[in-house]
Amino acid sequence: MRAYVTALLLLLLLLLLLLLVVVVAVVLVLVLPPASPTSLPRVSPSRFACAVRPPPAHIPLPRSAAGTELRPGGASSSRSSSGRPFLLFPPSPSLPSPLLPCSARLPPAAPPPPGSAACPAASPRPSALPCAALRRPRRHRGRRGVAAAAVVWKKMSVSMHENRKSRASTGSINIYLFHKSSYADSVLTHLNLLRQQRLFTDVLLHAGNRSFPCHRAVLAACSRYFEAMFSGGLKESQDSEVNFHNSIHPEVLELLLDYAYSSRVIINEENAESLLEAGDMLEFQDIRDACAEFLEKNLHPTNCLGMLLLSDAHQCTKLYELSWRMCLSNFQSISKSEDFLQLPKDMVVQLLSSEELETEDERLVYESAINWVNYDLSKRHCYLPELLQTVRLALLPAIYLMENVAMEELITKQRKSKEIVEESIRCKLKILQNDGVVTSLCARPRKTGHSLFLLGGQTFMCDKLYLVDQKAKEIIPKADIPSPRKEFSACAIGCKVYITGGRGSENGVSKDVWVYDTLHEEWSKAAPMLVARFGHGSAELKHCLYVVGGHTAATGCLPASPSVSLKQVEQYDPVTNKWTMVAPLREGVSNAAVVSAKLKLFAFGGTSVSHDKLPKVQCYDQCENRWTVPATCPQPWRYTAAAVLGNQIFIMGGDTEFSACSAYKFNSETYQWTKVGDVTAKRMSCHAVASGNKLYVVGGYFGIQRCKTLDCYDPTLDVWNSITTVPYSLIPTAFVSTWKHLPS
């Protein structure tokens, strides 16, 4: 029974499929229109007629044994306006067309008017379609194959091209862009062969005792120098020869010409400097830049002075900066070289007066100045006063200053030099007697004469001060903080470290100020601030301490309860030991990055009154006693770190909307931002200082992970490196840079 049911179901299924096929067929018949013969494109047989031109005059048509010309069957001859014969093939409906007509590849066009050249059937004289010349006719077997072998192309003419354009404009046309990537190289290669064979050359370059034939167009395309020479009204624009005499070596000129004709040149230690000079003179900018890049990679303390002069003469900015930094960091070795004694006066003054000059002993600077003057005493003795002003004479040992400097014969003979030394002696005595603050330049240590101090503890409650030994890459404990605290601010003025405010374990928010003297290694207490605060920033400006923003305890609340972010800014004068209020911030902030640069205070980002991240830069002008907002931050910031090198303020890390490892620099004069290399790890609440020509960053955390490395940033290379590891038991809470101990 089950088998009968299955068979019945299969039969029903087949009937349904058959019914479906019938329905589809009926629908197609009803929907689709019937095919019409008129809807198909009709091509006139006459359009298959082709006209061919016989071979050139010196190639005769094939002849029979009787001497008659062989023509394809049915072809007749005609002559063009120039008198040369054509072969005309009449259309043959019985044979397939040897050509595919153009109309078969284009949409159908309107029929041409009777008598026109495009309608040979109605024309009084037979003519051929121009499209017949588009493709070579196929060779058919049989009697017509011999005749087809004699077919040649019809000569291209303007009218033919216009006819093709008119046909193409009646319908759509495909576009094919052809590009040969090796074309430029092949052209240069052929031009170089023409130069070597002295073909088509139109100018002769002379250098020394050698001559080089060249093409003006090639030289002008490679060099603006030659372009101006050949296109201007100079004498060389008319002459066929250019003589460089001895201003450029023949081998160097040959290298430049090889580059012009091949886009390749070999640069090595022997030719790099000469190629750079010649490339700059003849305005081969690519060669100049390539040589500068080669010299940058081969820079060394033994050649950095020479590279400094070379890059300065030829405006190679990056090579100059790298050479300059190497001279500053290797002054002890370069000051004893012959190249140093041959430096021009302006370069020596710039070098000896630099804040970034790395020297442990100012005696080296003084002796270098004296040696440079004695190298050519008759011409240089007048520069001695200017050179003495570059030396920090008050930092010299007292005995050396009194016995060696003051008694130097060159100095005693010049009144102005003698006055400079006497002034430095007075500053030295003032330092030794601890008689107030000395602000004279002769007593100010260079930036590389700074010490780095780190404040921290085993918890966020800071209780100890550490010295960072940059050479040994060690962190050395120095002194305990008398009153442990957290969320304070630290700032260095001269040889002293100032700790302001913060929150203690017992007394809540503090207004106390503690001072650590690095000369005598002892703590003392200064006048308290006017407002107790924590989470604030501090910076030194014109030998005064400024405290900016922060939080304080709200009235009627617990001591640890924060208020809204403060606008108040206080100024402390170390000489009078007094605090005064100055102009308030435009907008109250806490946890902002506060630094001074170019006689102005800057506060970057921070936590606003509404507890949001603030995307503003606030700037304080001491002369006008007011705050402005000259710029906005690239992103909202707080808990960031900032440090200053020259007129550049570097901002890094922090609690941001994007990456906590990002770093930027801010120009304190133009208020422009520039992105720099990211720090090695994400850091929030990190701390940064500048020492010499480098930046140092320490501390911070990201999430629950602490950052345990002390990183160094080199702005000339835009590179960060980790130089040491912070002990696990130390949580950094502040980072400052002070002057080193002054020599006794």
Task: Confirm whether 110 is domain-assigned.
Answer: no
* Residue 455 CB coordination number (10 Å): 23
Task: Confirm whether 647 is domain-assigned.
Answer: yes
Please give the pLDDT value at position 44: 45
Q: Say which amino acid occupies 396.
A: L
Beta bridge partners of 500: 489, 513
Q: What is the pLDDT of residues 427-461, one digit of tens each?
A: 888 877 776 666 788 888 887 667 899 999 988 89
Q: Are residues 467 and 434 in the same domain?
A: no
Q: Are residues 437 and 464 in the same domain?
A: no
- CA angle in degrees (0–180, nearest 5) for 672-675-676: 125
Q: Say which amino acid occupies 106.
A: L
Alpha carbon distance 518, 494 (integer Å):
9
Please give the pLDDT value at position 497: 95
Alpha carbon distance 223, 229 (integer Å):
10
Task: Confirm whether 294 is domain-assigned.
Answer: no
Contacts of 166 by beta carbon, 8 Å cutoff, 6+ apart: none
Q: Are residues 414 and 529 in the same domain?
A: no
> Which has more confidence, 1 or 424?
424
Q: What is the mean pLDDT of residues 655-684?
A: 84
* Boundary (domain end) residue, out of 58, 88, 118: 88
Look up tokens 């900032």; give the residue. Answer: 642
Q: What is the pLDDT of residues 620-657, one digit of tens each?
A: 999 999 999 999 999 888 899 999 988 899 999 887 65
Alpha carbon distance 627, 141 (integer Å):
98
DSSP SS3 for 190 = helix
pLDDT over 70 at 267, yes or no: yes
Q: Are residues 364 and 460 in the same domain?
A: no
Alpha carbon distance 636, 658 (integer Å):
9
Q: Are residues 573 and 714 in the same domain?
A: yes
Q: Are residues 636 and 699 in the same domain?
A: yes
Alpha carbon distance 154, 740 (integer Å):
94
| First-residue to last-residue Cα distance in the chain | 123
Q: Are residues 500 and 554 in the same domain?
A: yes
Structural domains counted in the chain:
3
The DSSP symbol for 105 reads G
pLDDT over 90 at 603, yes or no: yes
Contacts of 377 by beta carbon, 8 Å cutoff, 6+ apart: none
Enclosing domain of residue 438: 330-446
Alpha carbon distance 416, 693 (integer Å):
32
Strand 648-652 and strand 641-645: pairing? antiparallel
Residue 545 phi/psi, 5-degree rounding, is -100, 130
Alpha carbon distance 201, 196 (integer Å):
10
* Residue 233 CB coordination number (10 Å): 6
Alpha carbon distance 308, 322 (integer Å):
8
**658 falls in which pLDDT band (50, 70, 90)?**
low
CA 23 to the chain's CA centroid: 72
pLDDT averaged over the chain?
A: 81
Strand 719-725 and strand 203-207: pairing? unpaired
Task: Confirm whether 96 is domain-assigned.
Answer: no
pLDDT over 90 at 88, yes or no: no
Of residues 318, 263, 312, 262, the one with CA closest to residue 289: 318
DSSP SS3 for 555 = coil
Q: Are residues 514 and 570 in the same domain?
A: yes
Q: What is the pLDDT of residues 48-79, one digit of tens each?
A: 344 444 444 444 444 544 444 444 444 444 44
**136 falls in which pLDDT band (50, 70, 90)?**
very low
Please give the pLDDT value at position 89: 44
Please give the pLDDT value at position 169: 62
* Boundary (domain end) residue, out of 37, 57, 88: 88
Length of the chain: 744
Q: What is the pLDDT of residues 548-565, one digit of tens each?
A: 999 987 544 444 445 778
Q: Which of 32-36, 171-175, 521-525, 695-699 shows the lowest mean pLDDT across its residues? A: 32-36
Q: Max CA-CA distance within the chain? A: 138
Q: Are residues 656 and 562 in the same domain?
A: yes
Q: Are residues 533 and 400 in the same domain?
A: no
Q: Are residues 534 and 433 in the same domain?
A: no
Please give the pLDDT value at position 151: 45
Alpha carbon distance 569, 550 (integer Å):
10
Q: Are residues 600 and 462 in the same domain?
A: yes
pLDDT over 50 at 142, yes or no: no
Please give the pLDDT value at position 521: 84
Please give the pLDDT value at position 436: 63
